Chain A
Amino acid sequence: MLEVSLGPGLLSHNYDGLLNDLDTMTGIFLKRGEYTETLDAKKKWDFKPLAKPGDAVVAGDWLGEVDENGIAHRIMVPFKLEGQFTVKSVTEAGQYAANETIATILDKNGEQIAVTMTQRWPVKKAIKAYRNKPRPFKLLETGVRVIDTLNPIVEGGTGFIPGPFGSGKTVMQQAISKQAEADIVIMAACGERANEVVELFTEFPELDDPWTGRKLMERTTIIANTSNMPVAAREASVYSAMTIAEYYRSMGHKVLMLADSTSRWAQALREMSNRMEELPGPDAFPMDLPAIVSNFYARAGIVYLNNGQTGSITFIGTVSPAGGNLKEPVTEATKKATRCFYALSQQRADSKRYPAIDPIDSYSKYLEYPELQKTLAETISPEWTGHVNRLKNIMIRGKEAAEQINILGDDSVSVDYHLTFWKSEIVDAVLLQQDAFDAIDARTPLQRQRYMVDLLLEIIDTPLHFDGFEDVQPFYKKLIDKLRQMNYSPFASEAFQNYRKELREMISERTAVG
């Protein structure tokens, strides 16, 4: 089975699907048969012991730690070791290379086992060095409003983003990777465009992590197996990425893993199954595709480690459905395996309503979890879940009203229909649409999202008077313009407050009429 090396120095590196370090390869082209080491054997790490002689340990328990780009990288009892062990000795604090022995442990027969900072693990097996895996209960903030507010992803949750090409899957994933509240981000660029990976290589060393102020690259590992690299390595790349994610989860970190795109992985499975002359299933994919997909997503999750601390892997994959048809095998298999569904709609993308996440088709099953509702009530506001459901209803009613108006005509329906429609348009324009390329609008912290939701609901709940439907559109267009300018202004800045004031005046003029 394919094994990879795990140890300090994985972060801020760029690997291919088999964890060859791409930066240490020579020449412009990837030469056939060229392999490079995953970890830098020469680099010395600042080691601090955590365990003491006599401690009883099992696989995954922490023996010591080193500082890796400001992140506590725990050195663990190798995952491969089964049963109980006793610590015989741990070296004192100091500088050590990744393959030097830092501890000796004894098995129950008294045999000595030397532990280094490096260990090897077969990528297709899940690392299960934890006590238990509870249901997820904590929101993972991404700064993307349509996710955080309407379809929240949670620490240890799974989600997927299906969408036809050009609907913004990759921009969406990159926004999440830049902004999410995670300690570690593992990006698997699996069979996608090389220029997109280059974008990550170029931008991440420059961008600041909004949570720590360090560079984004320092918390990130990129597995780049682009579409022109070998198919077998593409198949392995998502497993390699997941193994690294599990490795850091065992250290008690919050890991975010992204795979773009899992359809390419499924296609690699298809090409290999075809070459092995297996009988094909639907669309020539292997028969056990749904099982493979759900097994893979099951490796994510939040866990309580043996020492009581938590660690999590939140996994979001993109799916590129052939022909944009969500009934194809990869989408269907993924839908069964994940709990959040971010449907990207071609129609929204065509009218440049980005992110093109469909507000009505998309869902987050986690919103129904009482565990999550409880933490949302505690951390945001007690009415939060109610607000979110109201917003969803406003979107659905707006869509129904729009259909009625289209069928019957502007003047054959009552003004109320127009109001219902325009209320959903405000939510759409101000909350759902977000400019990923604007420095301020790109990331909305939770507190600001709460403010905007309260503001929008206040506007929607204020009864307004219009003489005829002709007045509705200009008024709401102006309202949306003001709200958008608020989105572009720094939170609570003078400009922001001014727009807020202008909004109030606009609304009070309308209420005064009636």
Chain B
Amino acid sequence: METKALQRIYTKIGQITKATCTLKATDVGYEELALVDGRPAQVVKIVGDDVTLQVFSGTEGIRTNAEVVFAGKPPTLKVGDELAGRFFNAYGDPIDGGSKIEGEERDIGGPSVNPVRRKQPSELIATGIAGIDLNNSLVTGQKIPFFADPDQPYNQVMAMVALRAEADKIILGGMGLTNDDYLFFKDIFENAGALHRIISFVNTTEDPPVERLLVPDMALTAAEYFAVDKKEKVLVLLTDMTLYADALSIVSNRMDQIPSKDSMPGSLYSDLARLYEKAVQFADGGSITIIAVTTLSGGDITHAIPDNTGYITEGQLFLRRDTEIGKVIIDPFRSLSRLKQLVIGKKTREDHPQVMNAAIRLYADAANARTKLENGFDLTEYDKRTLDFAKAYSDKLLAIDVNIGTTEMLDTAWGLFAKHFSPAEVAVKKEFVEKYWK
């Protein structure tokens, strides 16, 4: 942000708190940006002439006679094809040493899509990972998070999904990303030769936390430009949304709002929904798909952040380390893609829904058998077979290093059924058994 000629400069700050300062000013709008003593700030409250500014990096050292300059506009992003391949900070300024973007200036966090103008998502996103494609197929226009503990390789899996997904543009919104993770994304995209279709908005742990509230809006404004104006398939990666929600609670706390569950603002659901609902399939082919990360603390999904997220997103993906095979798998019990019904058995082979359910049911039987074993009971012959099946299923299909097509996944599953069970135990529609049983 830069100062321009003929701007009014205020030099009398009435009140300063740890994060905000209040002064008398006129002709100022809500969410307008400003510079306080050269530091970026945003209008968060207006009462009469009293304007409260939130200084992103804190108010330490700001004097009551510091210069305050209003930018005259809320945060904006200049959009254009030149965005591709570039890295930006939370204000949309380049951080890769390149030149500034020239293009149409748009307000970030624009209006919602009229629901009747949306199209029902119907295009499968193939990732090659059977734990996703077979059990939890993703669809363009979907929004889905990884619910992961901080020690799990969620950023790696997300990058893998993004690169295999054949999107026209991949937009990364990094919030509170460590510098190491930022470099990881940069390297993996560069090495894949995909940099020309990637745009990144990054707020690292070195930047003030409240700045990251701008990141998803920046990323989604860029996404809307490519999806609406250019009719492209856009994939947006948001990591980590838990840190975004934490920033929301900081702001709401500073605004004296009454906190609801887990010290989160009462509007958390609406705040998150506003972002996630930008995922959309348009009739003319453009789409925005959002894959996000919500880190959990100790796997607790009843915390307000994952809980509200789960009610907004169209499913969630869980990673789990399977000690039997020593690999990370996509957890088939807790993971869910709500939009899979729109493509499985339609865009994929007809037996897909039944095979998927049968395999998971048998895997659940194996889990029961394991409990029995742990409690010291004898296993029946059937129990033993389910355990063998579960191990093979985990290794050949659920592991994240699998990379095969959906038809091959289905054939693999039929092969496992035939090896371990009788048709009656699998209990799938008879016509499919006749056709595919090996």
Contact = CB atoms under 8 A, between A and B. Distances in A.
B353 interface: yes
A43 B334 CA distance: 51
Interface of A: 14, 22-23, 25, 27-32, 164-166, 191, 193-195, 197-199, 201-202, 224, 226-229, 231, 261, 264, 267, 270-271, 274, 280, 283-284, 320, 322-325, 350-352, 406, 409-411, 437, 470, 473-474, 477-478, 480-481, 484-485, 488
A227 B270 contact: yes
Given A323-B261, A323-B303, 18 more contacts: A22-B115, A27-B114, A29-B110, A30-B112, A191-B269, A194-B118, A198-B118, A226-B112, A228-B112, A228-B273, A270-B260, A274-B266, A322-B307, A325-B302, A350-B333, A410-B378, A411-B378, A477-B427
Interface stretch (B30-38, B176-184, B308-316, B392-400): B308-316
Contact of A478 (B270, B278, B380, B424): B424
Contact of B120 (A195, A470, A480): A195
Contacts of A28: 113-114, 117, 228, 282
A193 B360 CA distance: 27
B364 interface: yes
Given A22-B116, A473-B380, A352 B357 contact: yes
B277 A323 contact: no
Contact of A197 (B115, B274, B341, B424): B115
B339 interface: yes
A270 B264 CA distance: 13
A270 B111 contact: no
B238 to A, nearest CB: 16
B328 interface: no
B23 interface: no
19 contacts: A23-B116, A28-B282, A29-B113, A165-B307, A195-B339, A198-B118, A224-B116, A227-B273, A228-B112, A231-B267, A267-B266, A271-B270, A284-B259, A284-B266, A352-B361, A406-B371, A409-B378, A478-B424, A481-B424
Nearest to B139: A195
Contact of B277 (A31, A226, A270, A488): A226
A410 B424 contact: no
A28 B113 CA distance: 6
B142 interface: yes
A14 B270 contact: no
A30 B113 contact: yes
B304 interface: yes
A477 B269 CA distance: 44
A165 B338 CA distance: 11
B336 interface: yes
A280 B277 CA distance: 28
Nearest to A268: B270
Contact of B113 (A194, A270, A406, A488): A194
Given A227-B277, A228-B274, A323-B307, A485 B117 contact: no
Nearest to B360: A352
Given A28-B117, A28-B228, A480 B111 contact: no
Nearest to B353: A437
Contact of B258 (A164, A228, A280, A320): A280
B382 interface: yes
Nearest to A199: B120
A352 B335 CA distance: 12
B164 interface: no
Nearest to B116: A22
A227 B269 CA distance: 8
Nearest to B312: A227
Nearest to A488: B429
A198 B266 contact: no
Interface of B: 110-121, 141-142, 228, 257-261, 266-267, 269-270, 273-274, 277-280, 282, 301-304, 307-308, 310-312, 314-316, 333-334, 336, 338-339, 341, 353, 357, 360-361, 364, 371-372, 375, 377-378, 380-382, 424-425, 427, 429-430
Nearest to B117: A28
Given A166-B336, A322-B307, A351 B382 contact: no
A200 to B, nearest CB: 10
B294 to A, nearest CB: 13
A344 B273 CA distance: 24
Chain A CB count within 10 A is highest, among B121, B142, B259, B424, for B424
A271 B278 CA distance: 21
B261 A30 contact: no
Contacts of B114: 22, 25, 27-30
Nearest to B382: A473
B381 to A, nearest CB: 8
B103 to A, nearest CB: 19
Nearest to A279: B258
A50 B273 CA distance: 49
Nearest to B283: A28
B118 A323 contact: no
Nearest to B423: A481
B392 to A, nearest CB: 20
A484 B357 CA distance: 14
Given A271-B267, A477-B424, A32 B111 contact: yes
Contacts of A410: 377-378, 380
Contacts of A406: 371-372, 375
A246 to B, nearest CB: 25
Contacts of B371: 406
B335 to A, nearest CB: 9
A28 B273 CA distance: 19
Given A195-B142, A409-B378, A485-B430, A324 B302 contact: yes
Given A322-B307, A323-B307, A31 B111 contact: yes
A125 to B, nearest CB: 27
Task: Identify the interface centre among A14, A27, A193, A283: most chain B CB within 10 Å of its CB.
Answer: A193
Given A29-B110, A283-B261, A166 B316 contact: yes
A28 B382 CA distance: 56
A477 B307 CA distance: 37
Nearest to A170: B338
A477 B425 contact: yes
Contacts of B425: 477
B333 A194 contact: no
Most buried by A among B110, B111, B304, B382: B111
Contacts of B303: 323
Given A194-B118, A283-B260, A270 B266 contact: yes
A193 B339 CA distance: 12
Contacts of A320: 311
Contacts of A194: 113, 115, 118, 277, 280
Given A195-B339, A198-B119, A283-B261, A481 B427 contact: yes
Scoring B266, B301, B375 by chain A CB atoms within 10 A of each residue's CB, the highest score goes to: B266
Nearest to B277: A228
A323 B296 CA distance: 13
A221 to B, nearest CB: 13
Contacts of A25: 114, 116
Contacts of B259: 284
- Which 8 pairs across A and B sit closest by C-beta, in order of nearness? A323-B302, A227-B273, A228-B277, A284-B260, A165-B310, A202-B120, A228-B112, A409-B377
A195 B118 contact: yes
A322 B279 CA distance: 23
A411 B267 CA distance: 55
B300 to A, nearest CB: 9
B428 to A, nearest CB: 9
Contacts of B380: 410, 470, 473
Among the interface residues A32, A191, A264, A322, which one has the most CB atoms of the partner chain B within 10 A? A322
Contacts of B261: 283-284, 322-323
Contacts of B307: 165, 322-324
B405 to A, nearest CB: 23
Nearest to B280: A194
A317 to B, nearest CB: 15
Contacts of B312: 193, 227
